[in-house]
Amino acid sequence: MVSGSQWLGLATGAVIGGFYGAWQVLDMKRRLANPQRRWFTGVVLRLVLLLGAVFVVLTFLKVDRYWLIVGLAAAYTVPLLWGLKKHVPMGK
């Protein structure tokens, strides 16, 4: 049976991972449109905000860490793979 802290961890991880993944896909589109653009600061900002959000959630909410990571991974992977599928040519 899944407890309340596990559901909270899964939902919080999905929200954080979804925002992070969508931001990653948006930046990937911008980078492909303008390859000369500096990208390092955007990557660092995204990682700092991701780690900050996870730290705040783990500090102030009673969430299960395992389910938080599962939610982050699932929500981040879906938009990233969808964005890669659109921009990376697949040979048939």
71: exposed, middle or buried (Cβ count in 10 Å: 0-12, 13-18, 19+): buried
pLDDT, residue 90, reads 66
pLDDT per residue as tens digits for the range 1-46: 778 888 888 888 888 888 888 888 788 778 778 877 676 777 888 8
pLDDT tier for residue 85 given thresholds of 50, 70 and 90: confident
pLDDT tens string 34-81 = 877 676 777 888 888 888 998 999 899 888 888 888 888 888 787 777
Q: Tell me whether residue 38 is in a domain.
A: yes
Q: How many CA atoms lie less than 13 Å away from 16 in the CB half-sphere?
A: 26
> What pLDDT, on the 0 to 100 scale, is given for residue 39?
67
More confident residue, 92 or 81: 81
Count up the domains in the chain and report the number. Answer: 1
Whether residue 92 is predicted with pLDDT greater than 60 in this model: the reply is: no
Residue 90 belongs to some domain of the structure: no
Q: What is the pLDDT of residue 91?
A: 65
Domain carrying residue 26: 4-85
Residue 92 counted as domain residue: no
Tell me, yes or no, whether 46 lies in a domain.
yes
- The owner of tokens 């303008």 is 34
